[in-house]
Each structure stands twice: as structure tokens, then as C-alpha cells.
Amino acid sequence: MASELCKTISVARLEKHKNLFLNYRNLHHFPLELLKDEGLQYLERLYMKRNSLTTLPENLAQKLPNLVELYLHSNNIVVVPEAIGSLVKLQCLDLSDNALEIVCPEIGRLRALRHLRLANNQLQFLPPDLGRSRELQYVYVDNNIHLKGLPSYLYNKVVGCSGCGAPIQVSEVKLLSFSSGQLTVFLPAEVKAIGTENDRVLPLQELAMRSLHHTYHTFLKDLNFLSPISLPRSLLELLHCPLGHCHRCSEPMFTIVYPKLFPLRETPMAGLHQG
């Protein structure tokens, strides 16, 4: 297998290939043949899906300076080196299905980057400056179960997600409630988990808004029943018209704190960070 790999890379170097396919090679380390001498100066697209890589070399940009697309789907990459920010021509980077917990801020230096795929990792947050570039249009963060929000610069991008974060089957147990006038509104059982580090819950405001919306639309069908001083005007307006609905659990959504499946340029947030 090693000799076959070396031969494939050698042929690509001699014939100045622009595309190189190294998928399904059971690679545990980045092939040294790719980094020898002057590297593969003409290479534009490198496919290394379905291997067992754990990291990338620091001199990747030096040896493969003309990379436009890099596909690393389904590896075991934990850390992406800061040197990734030197791939100045990179337009598409696929790091889906790895073991990433952190994305280095240097990835924001990739000014040519248009597509960034980070689905199915262990990300908890994204670099604050990610999304500043006008070129970056598509960011996919599906199934990062610990990811609680997005940098504000991504609010005008198209972002994949796993829904709003609520379980599809909601427990019927009601633990907490509050009263407004003659009506008592029960909050979902998930509220009890707020503040517990290991439990994933929606923000209290989101849970409360959903409960209010469900209660008033199901039983009263008249939001005018609410006292003008019972909620801030902005929340009263949201009860009349939710920002959207989760594509997984179909619940209405009232706060923009989770990644959405649709372009946020089509929502009230569209005016933010246009540049």
C-alpha cells in the first residue's frame, strides 16, 4: 500500500496533476511524499476522505501553495494548525466528521474561503471573526451538539444545523409555572436543567416564549388577553409572529441564538454585519 501511495503521488508530481485522490487509504499520518522537495506546486484539489488522520502538517501551505479545495471528511483530526491560515487560495475546506473541539482563529484569515464544512464534530464555539470575509458564503455546523451559538458575522451566511436544540419528544412533566392575571402558564421540565453544565437546554427566554405561545394560541386564541405590562413590547410582538420554526421539532422559534437551516439574510437579522 505504501509503495502504491508513493507511486500515485510521484506520478501526480511528474505530470503536474491539479487533482489528487487519496481517499480510503487508511492513512494515519499526512504522507511525507506530499511534502518532499517543492511539494506539489500545481495541485489545486486534494481529497483525503475516510482516513485516520489526526492532524495536519505545519508546512502544508508552503508545500501545497495553490490548493483551492481540501477535503478531509471523516478522519480523526482534533487540531487544525495555525498554518491553515496561510492557504491564501483555499476556497473550500471540508472538515466534517472529525473530532474537532476548537477551530483556530487563523481560519478567519482565509479570505478566499467560500465553503466551510464543520459538521459532525465536537465544537463548542467558533472564532468571533469567522464570517467577516465577504467571500465566505456557506458554513455547515450540523450535529455539533455542544455548539450554543454563532459569531455575529455569520448571521448573514447560510448555515446548516441540527435544529433548535430541543428534544423532538418533549416531556409532559411540568415543574415550574408563573401567573399572568387569571392564567397560569407551566414551563417545560427542561427548565430545571438550566445551569447544569452537562445538560443541553434551550435558553429560558426561548422556553418561556414557546410555552406562552402554545398556551395563548391553544386555549385563548387571543393574544390581546395579555396585559401590556406583562411582557416587553418586543416579546409581545414576537408572540404574534415567531421568527421561524425549527425544521426538526416544528416548534416556533423566538430567539436567534442557535444556527438555522435557512439564510438569515431572509430574517429580521439581515441588516446586521453586511460587510
pLDDT above 70 for 211 = yes
Residue 248 in this model has a pLDDT that exceeds 60 = no
H helix intervals, 47-173: 60-63
Say whether pLDDT at 266 is over 70. no
> What integer pLDDT is reported at residue 197 of this predicted model?
42
Co-location of 8 and 107 in the same domain:
yes
The answer to whether the CB of 71 falls within 8 A of the CB of 94 is yes
Whether residues 194 and 248 share a domain: the answer is yes
Contact (CB, 8 A) for 63 and 40: yes
On whether residue 71 sits in a domain, the answer given is yes
Maximum Cα–Cα distance across the chain: 81
Q: Residue 153 sits in which domain range?
A: 1-160
235 and 125, same structural domain? no
| Chain segment 103-149, per-residue pLDDT in tens | 999 998 999 999 999 988 998 888 888 888 889 988 888 778 787 67
Domains of the chain: total: 2
Q: Are residues 144 and 240 in the same domain?
A: no
Q: Please tell me the predicted confidence (pLDDT) of residue 38.
A: 79
**pLDDT given at position 63:** 93
- 237 and 121, same structural domain? no
- Is the same domain home to 207 and 111? no
139 and 217 part of one domain: no
Residue 56 has pLDDT above 50, yes or no: yes
Residues 6+ apart with CB under 8 A from 89: 65, 66, 67, 68, 112
**Is the Cβ–Cβ distance between 254 and 206 less than 8 Å?**
yes
Residues 142, 228 share a domain = no
Pairwise CA distance, residues 74 & 71, whole Å: 9
Q: Is residue 262 assigned to a domain?
A: no
Please indicate, yes or no, if residue 271 is contained in any of the structural domains: no
- Here the CATH number for the domain that contains residue 69 is 3.80.10.10
Total-model pTM: 0.63
Do 37 and 142 belong together in one domain? yes
Average pLDDT over residues 223-234: 60
Closest CA to 67 of 20, 132, 31: 20
Q: Is 222 in contact with 216 (CB distance < 8 Å)?
A: yes
Residues 96 and 191 in one domain: no
Tell me: do 72 and 150 sit in the same domain: yes
Residue 25 has pLDDT above 90, yes or no: yes
pLDDT for 97? 92
**185 and 236 belong to one structural domain:** yes
On whether residue 103 sits in a domain, the answer given is yes
Contact 5, 34 (CB under 8 A): no
In a domain, 270, yes or no: no
**First-last CA distance in the chain:** 48
End-of-domain residue from the set 96, 129, 160: 160
* Residue 73 pLDDT exceeds 90: yes
pLDDT at 1 over 80: no
